[in-house]
Amino acid sequence: MDAPTFPCDVCGRRYQHGPHRYEGHKLHAYDMMVCDTCYKSNWDGWGPLMEPLIIKHLEAKGIAVPARNSKGWIPRGG
């Protein structure tokens, strides 16, 4: 039986998340699920390419944009 697939809230790529395959990560502070690729690639914050997508998601959820990190990027969150 295949695990269910879900779209990443950042890049839209589908990932498996269910029995025996857990390729998604819940970012509680942002009320979003992201795929392994987005999670691992943005460990040091959401870079300029991803920032508009993150801000759009936060605005839609009514979540304030958090303070930027030392790089000037929005933290990945957890």
Enumerate the H helices of 1-78 as residue ranges: 36-41, 51-61
Residue 73 belongs to a domain: no
Residue 74 belongs to a domain: no
Residue 68 belongs to a domain: no
> Mind listing the pLDDT tens digit for each residue in 31-70?
999 999 999 999 999 999 999 999 999 999 999 999 999 9
Residue 72 belongs to a domain: no
Q: Please give the residue range of the domain that contains residue 29.
A: 5-61
Q: How many CA atoms lie within 13 A of 77 on its CB side?
A: 22
Residue 50: CB partners within 8 Å, gap ≥ 6?
Answer: 10, 38, 42
Nearest to 33 by CA among 52, 12, 51: 12
Which DSSP letter does residue 18 get? E
Reported pTM: 0.87
Per the structure, how many domains does the chain have?
1
Residue 22 belongs to a domain: yes
Residue 67 belongs to a domain: no
